[in-house]
């Protein structure tokens, strides 16, 4: 965990003081078979929904998450000291996350959530406080899915190595942001 704090009951996570390293929090290792899912409520978001909820690898260096601001998949990479690892994109001139570990999917920037017209949604932009975010990792199929406010799960990404060691992940970039488990801890459905 970097620049985040956990409540005494272990159910809430909030963002502490700002720092240079890439702030994020990772939970315990998930099982490597079956399905693991959890739901968090966005208890408070200071700025417009800049929250990331998802999974990271066992080393807590690579993450795949739902970026609530626009319903996009975000993949981030950091080094052991917490600094973001990026590479220059020759086509755009911008910087993107360094490649994922060998055998893992990328998916960065993929639109995951859509509105009724199948366009990029704006329903959480600036209004993420109170939203329920469900994360489901199917260890046997290597898939990651997300659901919002009790809606159906939307498959975000395929291609995780079957049985890969993963952890729950959250990144709350703005000091004061806060999320809480909507149901205690992580539900595991064995195969």
3-state secondary structure of 57: strand
CB 61 within 8 A of CB 68: no
CB-based burial label for 179 (10 Å; 0-12, 13-18, 19+)? buried
| Degrees to nearest 5, angle at CA 30 with 61 and 185 | 110
Tell me the pTM: 0.87
Encode the chain (191 residues) as per-residue pLDDT tens digits: 667 778 888 888 877 765 555 578 888 999 999 999 999 988 766 555 578 899 999 999 999 999 887 788 999 998 888 788 989 888 888 888 899 999 999 999 898 876 556 655 555 555 566 788 999 999 999 999 998 888 889 899 999 999 999 999 988 877 777 788 887 778 899 88
Q: Name the CA dihedral angle for 58, 50, 72, 38, rounded to a multiple of 10 degrees.
A: 50
Query: Which residues form the domain of 25?
Result: 4-189
b/e code 27-48 from CB counts within 10 Å (16+ = b): beebbeeebbbbbbbbbbbbee
Tally of structural domains, the chain: 1
| CATH number of the structural domain spanning residue 141 | 2.60.120.920
How far is Cα 113 from Cα 119, in angstroms, rounded to an integer? 8
pLDDT at 118: 60
Of the candidates 154, 170, 157, 137, the one whose C-alpha atom is nearest the C-alpha of residue 50 is 170
């Amino acid at each position: 965990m970097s620049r985040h704090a956990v409540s005494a009951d272990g159910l809430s996570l909030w963002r502490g003081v700002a720092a240079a390293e890439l702030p994020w929090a990772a939970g315990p290792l998930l099982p490597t078979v079956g399905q693991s899912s959890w739901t968090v409520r966005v208890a408070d978001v200071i700025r417009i929904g800049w929250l990331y909820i998802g999974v990271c690898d066992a080393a807590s260096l690579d993450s795949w998450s739902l970026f609530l601001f626009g319903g996009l998949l975000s993949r981030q990479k950091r080094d052991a000291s917490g600094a973001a690892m990026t590479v220059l994109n020759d086509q755009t001139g911008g910087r993107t996350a360094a490649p994922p570990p060998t055998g893992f999917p990328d998916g960065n920037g993929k639109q995951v959530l859509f509105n009724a017209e199948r366009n990029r949604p704006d329903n959480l932009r600036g209004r993420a406080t109170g939203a329920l975010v469900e994360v489901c990792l199917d260890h046997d199929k290597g898939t990651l899915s997300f659901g919002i406010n009790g809606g159906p799960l939307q498959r975000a990404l395929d291609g995780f190595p079957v049985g890969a060691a993963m952890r729950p992940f959250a990144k709350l970039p703005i000091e004061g942001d806060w999320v809480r488990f909507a149901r205690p801890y992580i539900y595991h459905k064995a195969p």
